[in-house]
Every structure is written in C-alpha cells, then in structure tokens.
Amino acid sequence: MIYNGLKIDNTFAEAFNMKASRIIVTADNFKWAKHACDSFTGFATSVIACGVESGIERQLKKSETPDGRPGYSILLFSMSRSQLEKQLETRVGQCILTCPTTAVFSGIDGEDIIPLGKNIRYFGDGYQISKKIGGKRFWRIPVMDGEFLCEESTSRVSAIGGGNFLILSKNRKSCLEACEVAVKSIENQLNVITPFPGGVVRSGSKVGSKYKALIASTNDAFCPTLKSMTNSTLANDVNCVMEIVINGLNETDISIAIKKCIQSISKSKIKKDICSISAGNYGGKLGQYHFNLRKIMK
C-alpha cells in the first residue's frame, strides 16, 4: 500500500489490556506545572521495569482545570492495580507535593476508585484539613509556600497499552526527524500518550531471550547491524528503525493517533528517505488488540 507516497507494510501492531488513570496538575503558571509533570512522568516508559507507563496527555487552559489555574493532564497505565496505586501515590508525594505552587486533582470518573491524596494527607502531620465539594473530598496540606491542595481519590478505567508503528529509514537523521514530526502531530490529542523519551523508542524488543533471566530482548529482526547475522526483515537500504509506542483509553483513540502520525510523515519533506512504515507484533498470540496499519490508513 502506498499512502501519499509512503509505503505501508501489510502488518499490524499488537497491543494489550491495561488499566489507566488520569490526574490534573495545576500551578501558578505553566512553567511550574510542567516541572511537576516532567518529574512525575520520569522513569515511566515501560511496566517491565518502571511499574507504570506515564506521560503528559495535554496542556490545559485555565478554564479546563478545577482551580482555574494553568496545568496539564497526565495519563498513567499499568497491568497491576497495586502498582498503579503505589506509583501514583509515590510520584504525587515525591514529584508534585514537593513542587512549588502545585495542586493535583482527579481527571477521570469511574466506579473503580483508587487513592490520590487519601494517604498523602498524613504528610500534614495532623494539621491537614479537608473539605467536601460536590460530593468530592479535597485535602489541604500545609507546606512551606502555603498549602498543597489534593483531591482524595481518582478512578481506574480500562485502557490499552502497546499500540505502535515502526519507521524504517535510509539513515538515522531522517528516521528521527520523521519520529519528531509524528509525535508533534498528536502532542495534544485527548486520551493518548507516547510514554518513551520524546515519544520515541530505539530499543524495540521481542519476547524472550537466550538469557533465561530476561523476559524481553532486542528485536533483532529490525536491527540494521544484524541484517547479515539473523533472520532480518529489513531491506538492504534500511539503516535505521525507530518505534513510536502509543497507549490510549480505547482502540479508536489509538487508531486515530497512528493515522495522524503516519499522515504527518507523508506530508513532510523527510518522507523521501523513509523506506516504509511497519509495526511490532508477536504473531498475534499475546496481545488482545491488533491495529492493522493498512485498515487504519484507508
């Protein structure tokens, strides 16, 4: 399939059931809200080692936040309820509570309630006070710049992790530029995040390893330096492959994000160096969701 001059391989991305939550972080200005969010979402690329996968969903106007201040929404994903709760509490306590002028609120409703400020309130050492507004409880925790306002709880909802596509390019410069164009095209899209650094993964993985202790290892079929040594899927002119992983709250959100990304690459000057767009999967045996690239781009 050729889409606006861009070759789309006949393959699919394989994704998995996850659970997600959303929080809203505000501050006196965008600069300090962003500092808190960057800290919160640091080391949150993969559940393999980070506990959660998290990222800034989008920037919020004052009219979109509970306290009328500038802020951002954050999505975090996990396969484990205990890890989601633990990582949410730890990251709020260490990265948002500590950041000047910030406040944090639930950004999603659902029947599966999980703690947000319920335990963090004890940092107030008995001086914390609460107020119930519109059926929701908020905690005011005294801190050295005034008080930290934190909603007591948020919700956990069904979600999908591991939606992806691969950019196969003639060289590293064009591959990275294409990735940057793609990530930019969805940076404020609702309900999705790209959890890896800058939204891009260079170390795509396969399931298993020759080493028994590892559950995942380098995706040698897409490693250009191994073309002559392994069962490579790469053409001779492919010298760099990078992956964009997209987590979302549902299939439609992820499909829209994949399409926007590929469309943006097809409209850019850099597409002349892109050999094809592919996707990562495990033969369809592990993930519950299959995102067929050609169906998405029709």
**Tens digits of residue pLDDT in 75-106:** 999 999 999 999 999 999 999 999 999 999 99
Question: Tokens for 102?
Answer: 């910030």
- Nearest-angstrom CA–CA distance, 131 and 68: 18
> Model pTM?
0.95
- Residue reference for tokens 């609702």: 190
DSSP tag of 19:
E
Please enumerate in sequence order all residues whose Cβ is within 8 A of that of 133, keeping only pairs 6 or more positions apart, or say none. none
pLDDT of residue 97: 98
The β-bridge partners of 26 are 71, 103
Domains and CATH numbers, the chain: 2-14+160-297 (3.30.70.520), 19-157 (3.30.70.520)
Residues 76, 53, 13, 182: what is their CA dihedral angle, to the nearest 10 degrees? 80
- Alpha-helical regions (H) of the chain: 30-40, 81-91, 172-185, 251-266, 293-297
Per DSSP, the three-state class of 41 is: coil
Work out whether strand 103-106 and strand 146-151 pair parallel, antiparallel, or are unpaired: parallel
Work out whether strand 12-26 and strand 112-115 pair parallel, antiparallel, or are unpaired: unpaired
pLDDT of residue 211: 96
- Residue reference for tokens 């925790």: 141
**Other CB atoms closer than 10 Å to residue 235's CB: what's the count?**
11
pLDDT of residue 285: 86
The DSSP string of 105-173 is EE----SEEEESSTTGGGGGTT--EEEEETTEEEEEEEETTEEEEEESEEEEEEEEEEEEEEEEESSHH
Are 150 and 139 spatial neighbours (Cβ–Cβ below 8 Å)?
A: yes
In degrees and rounded to multiples of 5, residue 249 shows phi and psi of: -80, -20
pLDDT of residue 152: 98
Are 63 and 194 spatial neighbours (Cβ–Cβ below 8 Å)?
A: no
Task: Tell me the pLDDT tens digit for each residue of 172-208.
Answer: 999 999 999 999 999 999 999 999 999 999 999 998 9
pLDDT in tens, the chain (298 residues): 999 999 999 999 999 999 999 999 999 999 999 999 999 999 999 999 999 999 999 999 999 999 999 999 999 999 999 999 999 999 999 999 999 999 999 999 999 999 999 999 999 999 999 999 999 999 999 999 999 999 999 999 999 999 999 999 999 999 999 999 999 999 999 999 999 999 999 999 998 999 999 999 999 999 999 999 998 999 999 999 999 999 999 999 999 999 999 999 999 999 999 999 999 998 898 899 999 999 999 9
Are 41 and 54 spatial neighbours (Cβ–Cβ below 8 Å)?
A: yes
C-alpha distances in Å from residue 266, one per residue of 166, 196, 280? 14, 23, 20
Per DSSP, the three-state class of 277 is: strand
pLDDT of residue 286: 87
